[in-house]
Protein backbone atom coordinates (compact mmCIF):
# COMPACT_ATOMS: atom_id res chain seq x y z
CA UNK A 1 0.00 0.00 0.00
CA UNK A 2 2.97 2.37 0.42
CA UNK A 3 4.37 3.53 -2.92
CA UNK A 4 7.50 5.31 -1.65
CA UNK A 5 9.09 7.79 0.67
CA UNK A 6 7.39 11.15 0.47
CA UNK A 7 9.47 13.49 2.65
CA UNK A 8 11.41 13.84 5.86
CA UNK A 9 10.71 16.51 8.45
CA UNK A 10 13.61 17.83 10.52
CA UNK A 11 13.37 19.78 13.78
CA UNK A 12 15.76 22.75 13.61
CA UNK A 13 17.06 25.33 16.05
CA UNK A 14 17.87 28.08 13.52
CA UNK A 15 15.24 28.00 10.77
CA UNK A 16 16.80 30.85 8.77
CA UNK A 17 20.24 29.21 8.74
CA UNK A 18 18.84 25.81 7.78
CA UNK A 19 16.65 27.24 4.99
CA UNK A 20 19.69 29.09 3.62
CA UNK A 21 21.72 25.85 3.66
CA UNK A 22 19.13 23.69 1.89
CA UNK A 23 18.10 26.46 -0.52
CA UNK A 24 21.37 28.28 -1.28
CA UNK A 25 24.01 25.59 -0.74
CA UNK A 26 22.17 22.45 -1.85
CA UNK A 27 19.96 24.22 -4.40
CA UNK A 28 16.52 23.08 -3.24
CA UNK A 29 13.59 25.39 -3.89
CA UNK A 30 11.33 26.77 -1.18
CA UNK A 31 7.83 25.56 -2.06
CA UNK A 32 5.74 26.24 1.06
CA UNK A 33 6.44 28.46 4.03
CA UNK A 34 4.90 29.84 7.17
CA UNK A 35 7.57 31.65 9.16
CA UNK A 36 5.19 32.54 12.00
CA UNK A 37 4.42 28.86 12.51
CA UNK A 38 8.09 27.99 11.95
CA UNK A 39 7.71 25.69 8.94
CA UNK A 40 9.43 25.79 5.55
CA UNK A 41 9.15 23.06 2.88
CA UNK A 42 11.71 22.54 0.09
CA UNK A 43 11.96 20.38 -3.02
CA UNK A 44 14.54 19.63 -5.70
CA UNK A 45 11.70 19.16 -8.21
CA UNK A 46 8.44 20.86 -7.15
CA UNK A 47 6.50 19.44 -10.10
CA UNK A 48 7.38 15.87 -9.07
CA UNK A 49 7.13 16.34 -5.27
CA UNK A 50 5.81 19.51 -3.65
CA UNK A 51 8.28 18.95 -0.82
CA UNK A 52 11.00 16.49 0.03
CA UNK A 53 12.33 18.21 3.16
CA UNK A 54 10.23 19.93 5.84
CA UNK A 55 12.17 22.18 8.23
CA UNK A 56 10.29 22.75 11.49
CA UNK A 57 11.42 25.14 14.22
CA UNK A 58 11.53 23.52 17.66
CA UNK A 59 14.61 21.33 18.11
CA UNK A 60 15.59 21.78 21.76
CA UNK A 61 19.21 22.35 22.75
CA UNK A 62 18.79 20.12 25.81
CA UNK A 63 16.23 17.55 26.86
CA UNK A 64 15.59 16.98 30.57
CA UNK A 65 17.19 13.79 31.84
CA UNK A 66 20.15 13.95 29.45
CA UNK A 67 18.32 12.37 26.51
CA UNK A 68 19.28 13.33 22.98
CA UNK A 69 16.91 15.90 21.48
CA UNK A 70 14.74 14.59 18.64
CA UNK A 71 16.04 15.61 15.24
CA UNK A 72 13.47 13.88 13.02
CA UNK A 73 10.12 15.64 13.04
CA UNK A 74 8.49 12.95 10.86
CA UNK A 75 9.05 10.37 8.13
CA UNK A 76 6.29 10.35 5.52
CA UNK A 77 5.22 7.56 3.17
CA UNK A 78 3.12 8.05 0.05
CA UNK A 79 0.08 5.86 -0.62
CA UNK A 80 -1.57 5.30 -3.98
CA UNK A 81 -5.16 5.91 -2.85
CA UNK A 82 -7.26 7.61 -0.18
CA UNK A 83 -8.57 4.22 0.89
CA UNK A 84 -4.98 3.07 1.57
CA UNK A 85 -4.64 5.88 4.14
CA UNK A 86 -8.01 4.92 5.60
CA UNK A 87 -6.97 1.24 5.85
CA UNK A 88 -3.63 2.13 7.47
CA UNK A 89 -5.48 4.29 10.01
CA UNK A 90 -7.83 1.41 10.87
CA UNK A 91 -4.93 -1.06 11.19
CA UNK A 92 -2.92 1.34 13.38
CA UNK A 93 -5.88 1.90 15.70
CA UNK A 94 -6.67 -1.84 15.87
CA UNK A 95 -3.02 -2.62 16.70
CA UNK A 96 -2.99 -0.02 19.49
CA UNK A 97 -0.60 2.47 17.90
CA UNK A 98 -1.00 6.07 18.99
CA UNK A 99 -2.43 8.37 16.31
CA UNK A 100 -1.10 11.93 16.48
CA UNK A 101 -3.55 13.46 13.99
CA UNK A 102 -5.41 12.88 10.72
CA UNK A 103 -5.47 15.96 8.51
CA UNK A 104 -6.42 17.67 5.30
CA UNK A 105 -3.45 19.50 3.73
CA UNK A 106 -5.47 20.44 0.59
CA UNK A 107 -2.69 18.84 -1.51
CA UNK A 108 -2.80 15.62 0.55
CA UNK A 109 -4.64 13.70 3.25
CA UNK A 110 -2.28 12.53 5.97
CA UNK A 111 -2.44 10.19 8.96
CA UNK A 112 0.31 10.89 11.51
CA UNK A 113 1.18 8.21 14.07
CA UNK A 114 3.97 7.03 16.36
CA UNK A 115 6.02 3.91 15.69
CA UNK A 116 6.91 1.51 18.53
CA UNK A 117 9.84 3.71 19.65
CA UNK A 118 7.90 6.98 19.54
CA UNK A 119 9.10 8.30 16.18
CA UNK A 120 6.47 10.23 14.26
CA UNK A 121 5.53 8.81 10.85
CA UNK A 122 2.88 9.68 8.29
CA UNK A 123 1.06 7.87 5.52
CA UNK A 124 -0.46 10.23 2.97
CA UNK A 125 -2.33 10.37 -0.32
CA UNK A 126 -1.88 13.21 -2.82
CA UNK A 127 -5.29 14.74 -3.67
CA UNK A 128 -4.38 16.24 -7.03
CA UNK A 129 -5.13 19.76 -5.76
CA UNK A 130 -2.00 21.88 -5.94
CA UNK A 131 -1.42 23.84 -2.76
CA UNK A 132 1.65 25.83 -1.79
CA UNK A 133 0.44 26.70 1.72
CA UNK A 134 1.46 24.51 4.66
CA UNK A 135 -1.90 23.82 6.26
CA UNK A 136 -3.16 21.04 8.50
CA UNK A 137 -6.91 20.80 9.21
CA UNK A 138 -8.34 17.78 11.11
CA UNK A 139 -10.46 15.44 8.99
CA UNK A 140 -12.47 12.28 9.68
CA UNK A 141 -11.36 9.39 7.46
CA UNK A 142 -14.56 7.48 8.16
CA UNK A 143 -16.50 9.93 5.98
CA UNK A 144 -17.25 8.94 2.40
CA UNK A 145 -14.69 9.74 -0.27
CA UNK A 146 -17.09 12.37 -1.63
CA UNK A 147 -17.36 14.10 1.75
CA UNK A 148 -13.58 14.08 2.23
CA UNK A 149 -13.01 15.48 -1.25
CA UNK A 150 -15.61 18.20 -0.60
CA UNK A 151 -13.59 19.25 2.49
CA UNK A 152 -10.39 19.15 0.43
CA UNK A 153 -12.01 21.37 -2.22
CA UNK A 154 -13.26 23.88 0.39
CA UNK A 155 -9.77 24.18 1.87
CA UNK A 156 -8.20 24.36 -1.59
CA UNK A 157 -10.47 27.31 -2.43
CA UNK A 158 -8.96 29.18 0.55
CA UNK A 159 -5.30 28.55 -0.35
CA UNK A 160 -5.18 28.11 -4.13
CA UNK A 161 -4.11 31.67 -4.95
CA UNK A 162 -0.78 31.39 -3.12
CA UNK A 163 1.93 30.48 -5.63
CA UNK A 164 4.89 28.16 -5.27
CA UNK A 165 7.28 29.55 -2.66
CA UNK A 166 5.04 32.54 -1.83
CA UNK A 167 3.95 33.48 1.65
CA UNK A 168 0.29 33.60 2.55
CA UNK A 169 -1.00 37.10 3.31
CA UNK A 170 -1.67 37.45 7.04
CA UNK A 171 0.14 34.22 7.79
CA UNK A 172 -1.59 32.39 10.66
CA UNK A 173 0.54 31.56 13.73
CA UNK A 174 -0.29 27.84 13.31
CA UNK A 175 -0.91 25.53 10.38
CA UNK A 176 -4.61 25.43 11.27
CA UNK A 177 -6.92 28.29 10.31
3-state secondary structure 68-102: CCCCEEEEEEEECCHHHHHHHHHHHHHCCCCEEEE
Domains of the chain by start residue, with CATH = 2-159 (3.10.180.10)
Whether 69 shows a pLDDT value over 90: the answer reads no
pLDDT tens by residue, 3-60: 999 999 999 989 999 999 999 988 999 999 999 999 999 999 999 999 999 999 988 7
pLDDT tens by residue, 96-140: 999 999 999 999 999 999 987 788 999 999 999 999 999 999 999
The residue with greater pLDDT, 112 or 177, is 112
Q: Which of 57-61, 67-71, 111-115, 170-174 has the lowest mean pLDDT?
A: 67-71
Local confidence band at 63 (pLDDT 50, 70, 90 cut-offs): low
pLDDT tens by residue, 71-82: 889 999 999 999
Amino acid sequence: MITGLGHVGIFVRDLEKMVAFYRDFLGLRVTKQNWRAGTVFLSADPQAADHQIALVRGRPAQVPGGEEPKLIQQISFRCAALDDVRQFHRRLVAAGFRIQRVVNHASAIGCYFYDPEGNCAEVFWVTGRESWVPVSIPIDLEQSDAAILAEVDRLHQRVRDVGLGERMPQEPPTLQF
